[in-house]
Amino acid sequence: MKQMSLTTGFMKKSKRTCKLEFLKEMDLVAPWHELVTLIESHSPPKDTGRPAFAVESMLRIHLLLQ
């Protein structure tokens, strides 16, 4: 049997939260690349004005709020 060192006691173990499980499942279910290309074709040009948020970020936020 190996003796535990002091550093192994301080290592963080990641918890599997419901939020992380939901986000992983959402990544598997939604075809993100196809949806982003579909929406980007209708987005306004990026020439002037305030820079827009990324389409993928806005799509993910919108679907999370539904």
Q: Are 15 and 39 in contact (CB under 8 A)?
A: no
Give the number of other Cβ atoms within 10 Å of residue 47's Cβ.
Answer: 5
Using a pLDDT cut of 70, give the percent of the chain over it. 91
Confidence of residue 1 (pLDDT cuts 50, 70, 90): low
- 10 vs 51 pLDDT, higher one: 51
Cα–Cα distance, 60 to 48 (Å, whole number): 25
Higher-confidence residue of 47 and 38: namely 38
3-state secondary structure of 59: helix
CA distance 46 to 4: 56
Does this model's pTM top 0.85? My answer is: no
Read off the pLDDT of residues 3-20 as tens digits, 9 standing for 90 and up: 767 777 677 777 778 888
